[in-house]
Structure 1
Amino acid sequence: MKSVLLLQIFCCVIAISTQLEGASVTVDLPFGSIKGYSNGDSWQFYGIPFAAPPVGDLRWQPPTDFIPWTGSTLDANYPPPACIQNCQLGMPACAANMSEDCLYLNIFIPISWTPGSNMTYDVLLFIYGGSFIEGTSGCLLYDSKFFTKFTDTIIVTFNYRVGALGFLRNPAYNIDGNMGFIDQRVAMQWVNNYISYFGGNGKITLFGESAGAISVGAHLASPLSTGLFRNAIVESDPWTIPLRSTINADVLGEEFFLELDCITKRCIFDKTSEEILSAPIIDNINLLDQPLATLLEKAKTSAFLPVIIGTTTNEGLLFIERLNRISPVKGEALYNAMLLFVFPYHFESVVNTYNSLYGVPTNYVDRLSLIAGDYVFLCPTRKLLATISDGEQYAWGYLWNRGETYNASSTFCYNIPCHGSELPYVFGTPSLWDQQFTPNDLNLSRQIQTYWRNMAYSSDPNMGSGGTGVYPAWPRYETRTGVEMFFDEPIGRLSYNYSDRVCDFLDTIGYDRSDIFGNSSVIRSFLLMVVVAVVLIGLINSISSY
């Protein structure tokens, strides 16, 4: 079995397909009844529609109101299909069941709850990652029964449209883009309106990882999402990768429909969907600017919701390894070409700074992974934490430093805290795919779950119904000390001024790279350059061997 981290990035671990067994419970809503089931650890309600199926003439349109089922009972016994996507990993990593009719949510409730009782619970609402081209709520990695049982909270997961069907823009066909982002907001609105019927107390904490973290940051920045949640947890947001401008999104949309050989609106609605790389765009309605820029300014001038923001300590390796498989990074020339592309005006200073801090690289994959993790994830996260702290707002920072040591079949992330490596600990799910936590792993899982639960309970990771128990107090981030929670075995501990020297340097360069990453034609030119460079290097090596 491949690394669960790789599976999460591209899709999910394994689609759930078996029928649940056990007792059932029925919830009566104004628009119909819903029947959920016990798995022994929690009540779970799968596949609740929060919007109308986005099919037919609703394809590429914002979500519309769900269709009531008054007078009947919805059997919420099966996970919903994933939204249409082109998953690259093959079975069983990719969801077996996909459909354009995919806008459903899942609710996990503590087993102690009964309908109509006075028992209420805090709510954690999760947004999955997958580069905005893949991902689903109905996979084993995000099965929330153990998370719900240990934290005594309600966990909600949901689907949103991805890829071309979620984020394509083409105003000529009245396709404004950001459909997937609006799907997320409509799911959040549904939870606000109806979670009380399931025992929710209205205290909603939004959390997400990777593309899900980008989404959380975007909802923090979007005025249209104000009031839908009271806290946020941002896990591994690649802040430096910008969202597309409407100009670049329009170009991509035009190219997409040319590839479909469509020149009429009817044609695009009749076509079978095809997957392309897409992401939310700055449409001046849902998003007014890059989320990081908006949040940095917001932290200085207005009230900021309490947030936990963090990264793993080796975010870059997963992505550089993917690139390395396509274009092996074996020589200094290719390494320099990649750095020159990203840092055209600061190339020498970047090379010299990293060489002075870490020595001349002997492994270019490792060095590129370090730079990518620092520049895209770690240092912009520190910048935002410092800005929130300087504004005397409430923010807590963390670093995840535990690899996938419980998984004997893991690849390069076995001992390395890759992108996404905290997720099995947050949800506590490795046993669902025949892996077992060590005692230290289980303790670390309980620690992060405790902090996430407390954040939902009190807007502070230290203050829950039982406090932090045996786990350390977690101070708010402050610029002077750079204090963060450093999650590692056997127990998380405090860290101070982690990577300050390199982040101080990268802060001087800045993290707005929309001039490069926001321009699809520039990226294609760079990839072409990489391919040409690899071919030339291969030819040179072949000639020199004779």
Structure 2
Amino acid sequence: MDETIVETHAGKIQGADLGKVIAWKGIPYAAPPVGERRFQPPQPLEPWTGVRNATTFGSIAPQLPFLLANGTLEVEMPEPQSEDCLYLNIWAPRQEGRKRPVMVWLHGGALLNGSGSQSDYDGADFAEQGDLVLVTINYRLGVLGFLYLAELAGEAYASSGNCGLLDQIAAFQWVRENIAAFGGDPDNITAFGESAGAISIALLFGMPAARGLFQRAILESGPVGTVPDKKAASQKTQTFLEILGLKTSEIDALWTLPYEKLLAAQARLLKDGRLGGIQPVLDGKDLLATPLQAFTRGAARDVTLLIGTNRDEARLFTDTITGEKRASSLASGAISPELRKNALKILRTYSKSKRAFWRALACFALRRPDEKLQDLLLEILTDYAARIPSIRLAEQQVRQGGRVWMYRFDWPSPHLKFGACHALELPFVWNKLEATSMSVLLGAKPPHELARGMQAAWIAFACAGDPNIAKLPSWPAYDLEHRGTMIFHEVCQVINDPQAAERQVWDDVFLTEELDSTAASGA
């Protein structure tokens, strides 16, 4: 029997034998979203006859080059690109007649970049070390995945603002229906993702169509911002048309323009910045609630969660902030143009409220007047964009009777003063400290034991719903009394309520406003 040949619901595919693991790449999970299917939800896959080759990756979603860390890092873009991009990849150990846990990875990239075929996400080692089935997926990005057209093109496009999320749902549905043929257990699926991938998972809890598709979820550095309503999304679409030189009456051109022109207009839209980044939309059809609303209503109660952030998330995104000003200088209103530029850059990225941010900055400055202003700013941006929203979700999960574990990744990059910045945990979770696009941030001697421990904890969580392993200190589930949090560093430890004073400041500055704004959104 040739174990590389597997029969899916759409037809047979043949993968590649890697020894202990078999890989199937470029598996279509929905019909190509091209032509009239552009801006439409994913459509059912057409069956094929014969055996389809599944030894090479499929095309990735159209995207533009993306630089991070002041141009130090460039997001890998495996070729080719095409609107025909709805593919997934599977790595699985040889079958032994038993069901294995399944992990499905959602890549990050601000909903603008990334793919499931990036070399950083090669799943062979994960599958072998965890004795599990590892899946990575592509989904539509940018305006092709999140341009809301219902108000301008009619209700036939009511789902257009959330096509990328609907792609993810279609991929999970495919996994549930087909993964048993690869030795996976369709009733033991863990969704895990980083940054936009983690945000996506959080958003899926507000989508009824995603209910029951996974039993566990890991959210790495998932800053959860507000989600625009239909009016705001339509305004962004109108601006996009203006950039393309199109009148509303000429909107049909969106279906015939080459995607390269759409991406060029998207770049101009994002450069303007006033309308925020590319985001899903609370459309009242597919996405009914923000993550915080959904968690507050108990939508995640039956899904076991692992949530965490990195100690210095914001350092990956901000330009270098110079000067030795102290926080006390804020008392005289002395906010430099450079400071303001960096703050607004982050706030636009995550569609955060400027009012609450400046209130928080003032409160922190009063408490810590002698701290360097740039350090204070970066810490507040990290809190505002990632740590506090993640804690809010964990708090609601606990209040609703669900289980959740919390972590913070603290190991700092030895180079370029980026600290434990956004995305730095990825080569540790995937245990890829040598062959990684993050090598420039890892230095000559990154701690391999930390990588082995983190990957093992993620595997334990996926297998049994509990990240505790022998290599780590005892890791309690999160509760509102102790708030035990695993700190990942060269020496790992559990700290109760880390940065408690700062969290309490945010309780005063941020929580009421966030709850009020989400309640007022009508979702």
Q: Compute the TM-score of the two structures, normalised by the length of structure 1.
A: 0.79
**Residue 356 (structure 1) shift:** 4.3
Distance in 2 separating the partners of 1:134 and 1:348? 30
Distance in 1 separating the partners of 2:342 and 2:116? 35
Letter in 1 for 2:466: D
- Which digits, 9 at most, give the CA deviation of each residue in 1:11-45, with x for residues without a partner? xxxxxxxxxxxx97111234321111133452111
1:97 aligns with 2:76: no
Distance in 2 separating the partners of 1:126 and 1:425? 15
1:88 match: 66
Asked if 2 retains the 8 angstrom alpha-carbon contact of 1:44 and 1:106, the reply is yes
Distance in 1 separating the partners of 2:9 and 2:80? 30
2:476 match: 475
Distance in 2 separating the partners of 1:92 and 1:504? 36
Asked if 2 retains the 8 angstrom alpha-carbon contact of 1:59 and 1:165, the reply is yes
2:412 match: 403
1:381 match: 390
Letter in 2 for 1:424: P
User: 370-379 or 251-260: which moved more?
Assistant: 251-260
Distance in 2 separating the partners of 1:313 and 1:249? 32
Residue of structure 2 aligned with 1:189, choices 147, 167, 173 = 173
Asked if 1 retains the 8 angstrom alpha-carbon contact of 2:24 and 2:90, the reply is yes
- Note the 1:224-303 alignment, pairs <5 A: 224-239=209-224, 241-262=225-246, 263-273=249-259, 274-275=262-263, 276=266, 277-298=277-298, 303=301
1:484 match: 485
Asked if 2 retains the 8 angstrom alpha-carbon contact of 1:84 and 1:162, the reply is yes
1:194 counterpart SS class: helix
List runs of 5+ in structure 1 lacking aligned partners: 1-22, 325-329, 463-467, 518-546
1:175 aligns with 2:161: no
1:137 match: 116
Letter in 2 for 1:83: A
Distance in 2 separating the partners of 1:347 and 1:130? 24
2:189 counterpart SS class: strand
- Which digits, 9 at most, give the CA deviation of each residue in 1:157-182, with x for residues without a partner? 00000001000011232433211110
Distance in 2 separating the partners of 1:313 and 1:501? 15
Label 1:32 to 1:40 Cα distance change in 2 as closer, same or farther (>3 A): same
- Which digits, 9 at most, give the CA deviation of each residue in 1:421-443, with x for residues without a partner? 11111112233249599887221
Q: Compute the TM-score of the two structures, normalised by the length of structure 2.
A: 0.83
2:205 counterpart SS class: helix
Identity %, equivalent residues: 29
1:87 counterpart SS class: coil
Asked if 2 retains the 8 angstrom alpha-carbon contact of 1:232 and 1:305, the reply is yes
Letter in 2 for 1:307: L
Letter in 2 for 1:205: T
List runs of 5+ in structure 2 lacking aligned partners: 68-72, 267-276, 323-328, 519-523
Residue of structure 1 aligned with 2:312, choices 311, 314, 337 = 314
**Residue 56 (structure 1) shift:** 0.8
User: 429-438 or 246-255: which moved more?
Assistant: 429-438
**Residue 336 (structure 1) shift:** 6.1
1:76 aligns with 2:82: no
Distance in 2 separating the partners of 1:205 and 1:91? 28
Distance in 1 separating the partners of 2:320 and 2:302? 36
Label 1:515 to 1:253 Cα distance change in 2 as closer, same or farther (>3 A): farther
Asked if 1 retains the 8 angstrom alpha-carbon contact of 2:75 and 2:113, the reply is no
Asked if 1 retains the 8 angstrom alpha-carbon contact of 2:100 and 2:184, the reply is yes
Distance in 2 separating the partners of 1:157 and 1:417? 25
Distance in 2 separating the partners of 1:347 and 1:391? 28
Distance in 2 separating the partners of 1:480 and 1:515? 25
Letter in 1 for 2:335: E
1:460 match: 466
Distance in 2 separating the partners of 1:41 and 1:139? 21
**Residue 454 (structure 1) shift:** 1.7
**Residue 450 (structure 1) shift:** 1.7
1:422 match: 425
1:432 counterpart SS class: coil
Asked if 1 retains the 8 angstrom alpha-carbon contact of 2:20 and 2:128, the reply is yes
What is the alpha-carbon root mean square deviation over aligned residues?
A: 3.0
Distance in 2 separating the partners of 1:154 and 1:213? 20
Asked if 2 retains the 8 angstrom alpha-carbon contact of 1:402 and 1:488, the reply is yes
**Residue 242 (structure 1) shift:** 1.5
Residue of structure 2 aligned with 1:446, choices 447, 452, 456 = 452
Distance in 2 separating the partners of 1:228 and 1:105? 16
Distance in 2 separating the partners of 1:290 and 1:91? 30
Label 1:322 to 1:280 Cα distance change in 2 as closer, same or farther (>3 A): farther
Distance in 2 separating the partners of 1:433 and 1:424? 7
**Residue 457 (structure 1) shift:** 1.6
| Alignment coverage as a number of residue pairs | 470
Letter in 2 for 1:418: C
User: 343-352 or 418-427: which moved more?
Assistant: 343-352
Letter in 1 for 2:60: A
Label 1:153 to 1:376 Cα distance change in 2 as closer, same or farther (>3 A): same
Letter in 2 for 1:370: E
**Residue 488 (structure 1) shift:** 0.5
- Which digits, 9 at most, give the CA deviation of each residue in 1:53-94, with x for residues without a partner? 111111111110112112x11111111221011123498833
1:13 match: none
1:510 counterpart SS class: helix
Distance in 2 separating the partners of 1:133 and 1:513? 25
Letter in 1 for 2:5: T
1:501 counterpart SS class: helix
Asked if 1 retains the 8 angstrom alpha-carbon contact of 2:291 and 2:393, the reply is no
Label 1:108 to 1:403 Cα distance change in 2 as closer, same or farther (>3 A): farther
2:521 match: none
- Which digits, 9 at most, give the CA deviation of each residue in 1:92-128, with x for residues without a partner? 8333321111000000112xx13xx413210011111
Label 1:32 to 1:496 Cα distance change in 2 as closer, same or farther (>3 A): same
Distance in 1 separating the partners of 2:51 and 2:461? 34
Asked if 1 retains the 8 angstrom alpha-carbon contact of 2:103 and 2:132, the reply is yes
Residue of structure 2 aligned with 1:218, choices 182, 187, 203 = 203
**Residue 355 (structure 1) shift:** 2.5
1:358 match: 368
- Which digits, 9 at most, give the CA deviation of each residue in 1:423-476, with x for residues without a partner? 1111122332495998872211221222211222222223xxxxx233222101
Letter in 1 for 2:191: L
User: 218-227 or 433-442: which moved more?
Assistant: 433-442
Asked if 2 retains the 8 angstrom alpha-carbon contact of 1:146 and 1:429, the reply is no
1:125 counterpart SS class: strand
2:43 counterpart SS class: coil
